[in-house]
Chains A and B, each alone.
Chain A
């Protein structure tokens, strides 16, 4: 390939940091979203912010699409290079720059693996709470761009709640720094918040300062088993209604339990219709008291069995098992498609039941698990994308799920992002004017539309059929 812009890029990063071989292009042609795959023109691994600036300038000059990519664990086609162009990797920008124990912040390059941050700060008795299921693999840059959530979202919030400041390369190649090591900062628009979750469409994040909190003293883990989904959902509502805020409140239905147990063998009750995995942390006495209250609530609402993990290993295994839910469901069929429709937490039971009805109506298989405590469900469809007829029904089922979630005051995506996959539905949630404002923002940040094009904004919105 002898394209002038490729030569210019090569000059910036050096030959060994730009790949154009067919095998490399294929290896970076996808993320974890089924059915979205396309070859980029090059894969590039810059070593510094200034190299990224030069890359962006070259791409802007030649109108080449840029797709920033962390570890490619995206579930809504956020890093698939469907318009070709350059995939930017951050594997050479993976250093922890500073752990500031006086201000309780950590400053990192975008390529640091999320779990590495957690481990690093835990060594100092500190805590970085956002813990997406892919935290062993995902990068912090990816987490920030997607505003990732995780199992601890109920009590501790999500990525956006921990990003204090950013360094960002804009579409014209200039650099801005937003926020800082500040608890309060109202100087101008809150660009940090705007950029978190912008899915690489507004700028390229090259550094981030994150907020840390003291590590909770102790942790208690409870597993409650149910013979009906309703009872589990009622327990969730009662926990919230009783003003309890567990650190984690996860819901897993039977097909998911089976798949997870098959893989992880941690002793989940495979005959149960649903289980709740509940964790509370904090000072030992408080955590213990809370978990006992929660256990009582579970029993009152019809749990057939409850057990509190006796060792940290046991608790850890349960958490890890839950994290594998999505991939473990992939055992059941060639294609696994996962959504993250989210509703106000009071509507969890309604939503879970609606999902089952929708699955039945369209004759598709949907397993459900997710962060029940914050209303964030993961209806997961096990299907085969080679079966065109079924694939269409799957799409219709998910449309119905989005529709229902919005009807209940929810959203089309709680934590995975819009990407390319859900872009036709964005307007359903944000409305025509909402979408208009977002497009204007995009235009202001990226007039040539080179930053992760076709993500977030679809050519046209999916026609909304309101089901009553």
Chain B
């Protein structure tokens, strides 16, 4: 990759005005997990912006150093609500990553991995289903037991071994209900369309079912458009912008076909990306309006449950337990949802809710970050688990599949899988309904 062509791309695609909006006051520093961990401005939002500016101005030939800095960024966007100047950091980050990606000779091995995960698995729901049903087969067939017995996973890095331990149980294909319409259990108050998400629909199929049931109880007719696909967030965040644009168009079309009051997500990461479709397609004359309309309709399931007075109408009760909540960064920082999940948890009888210090800071999952930057991810996670410990919680609630897996991983790393569980908010709420 040549630094000149990258500089040129930066000049064409990242606005100088937007970069200059950062007045370098440093208010972002305490909000940035990678700055907090490293105490190094190379890994702070204002530092990264200064590096993007340097690339744009052709002041740094060593562009790979800038790329490294951007790769270490979690993309949690906690700097955005902290920024009084209103800098759109996340958008610049994505654009910069896309530019680096396009200019890069990707090593064959990584290319293969990306190709399989992003372009094949996440572009095509049926392939994702096959892959996860393989995982289901692995778990049910005894292969998992054998693997564990033979300690095959010992050949993998530690965090991968632990990740294998925390993968959720996959629902068998024939047990899955794929009906597209789920009527309200009470008088219908709204018709909503469910965005099922690729991971949520396969690895976390049960959580999607819980979400639908909760929506039904709250008075929603739920439709699940059949032709929807992955939201494209993982592509967008790792620089595969075109991949995410294709998926966005596919999803917009799918949801236009069902007429619903809202489009519901239960994964903060997907929700935030869907919420950004308007921006993603803003330069596309044919699609920009439709994309904006789509984005405007995106609502997290927790918000709608609160809006529909679910907490007052439903009797929620669980066994006595201490519960804490780990924010999903994108749910909080991009969609602006932080109170609704807390309200719902605290409405459950027998729950002693303990707010965890810095619950608003990233857990280190961040899409595929825990695979691409394992050291930083595990450092952040271990510090996160220390914060969990101060609450003495036995249940950690999350609102995003990545966070959920990461919290499970954290529990596993602390050898506390007997004492602590991590659950998705929807599953906890459904559990409380009985």
- The interface of chain A, by Cβ under 8 A from chain B, is 19, 21-24, 26-32, 34, 71-73, 89, 91, 113, 134, 136-137, 260, 262-264, 324, 326-328, 330-331, 334-336, 384, 386
Contacts and interface: CB of A to CB of B under 8 A. Distances in A.
Contacts, number: 97
A23 B62 contact: yes
Nearest to A26: B54
B84 A331 contact: yes
A26 B51 contact: yes
B59 A26 contact: yes
B183 interface: no
Interface string B16-37: 1100110111110110000000
Contacts of B66: 23
B139 interface: no
Given A23-B51, A330-B21, A334-B17, A134 B42 contact: no
Interface in B159-187: none
B47 A326 contact: no
A71 to B, nearest CB: 6
Contacts of B83: 327
Contacts of A134: 25-27
Contact of A336 (B16, B23, B39, B44): B23
B41 A136 contact: no
A317 B296 CA distance: 29
A260 B20 CA distance: 19
Contact of A324 (B20, B27, B62, B69): B27
B290 to A, nearest CB: 29
B67 to A, nearest CB: 10
A21 B21 contact: no
B400 to A, nearest CB: 25
A136 B26 CA distance: 10
A32 B25 contact: yes
A72 B42 CA distance: 13
B62 A73 contact: no
6 contacts: A23-B60, A73-B26, A137-B26, A330-B23, A330-B25, A384-B20
Given A22-B62, A23-B66, A26-B59, A330 B85 contact: yes
Contact of B20 (A22, A28, A29, A335): A335
B381 to A, nearest CB: 22
Interface in B294-346: none
A332 to B, nearest CB: 9
A327 B26 CA distance: 9
Interface of B: 16-17, 20-21, 23-27, 29-30, 39-42, 44, 47, 50-51, 54, 59-62, 65-66, 68-69, 83-86
Contacts of A23: 42, 51, 60, 62, 65-66, 68-69
Nearest to A264: B84
Contact of B23 (A19, A34, A386): A34
Contacts of A137: 26-27, 29-30
Nearest to A384: B20
Given A23-B65, A73-B25, A137-B26, A327 B85 contact: yes
B26 to A, nearest CB: 5
Contacts of B65: 21-23
B21 A334 contact: yes
Nearest to A92: B39
A334 B18 CA distance: 8
B3 to A, nearest CB: 11
Given A136-B27, A326-B84, A331-B84, 7 more contacts: A23-B66, A264-B84, A328-B85, A330-B21, A330-B85, A330-B86, A336-B23
A71 B26 contact: yes
Which among B24, B50, B84 has the highest number of chain A CB atoms within 10 Å? B84
Shortest Cβ-Cβ A-B pairs, 4 listed? A327-B84, A330-B85, A23-B65, A27-B41
B25 A331 contact: no
A71 B51 contact: no
A29 B26 contact: no
A29 B47 CA distance: 10
Contacts of B54: 26
Contacts of B60: 22-23, 26
A72 B41 contact: yes
A71 B29 contact: yes
A384 B20 CA distance: 9
Contacts of B21: 330-331, 334
Given A21-B62, A22-B62, A28 B24 contact: no
Contact of A32 (B23, B30, B42): B23
Nearest to B48: A27
A263 B51 contact: no
A386 B86 CA distance: 20
A285 to B, nearest CB: 33
Contacts of B59: 26
Contacts of A263: 84, 86
A117 B79 CA distance: 23
B27 A24 contact: no
B370 to A, nearest CB: 24
A269 to B, nearest CB: 19
Contacts of A91: 39-40
Contacts of A30: 24, 50
A12 B68 CA distance: 27
Contacts of A31: 24
B6 to A, nearest CB: 14
Nearest to B28: A137
A460 to B, nearest CB: 28
B26 A26 contact: no
A331 B17 CA distance: 11
A344 B65 CA distance: 50
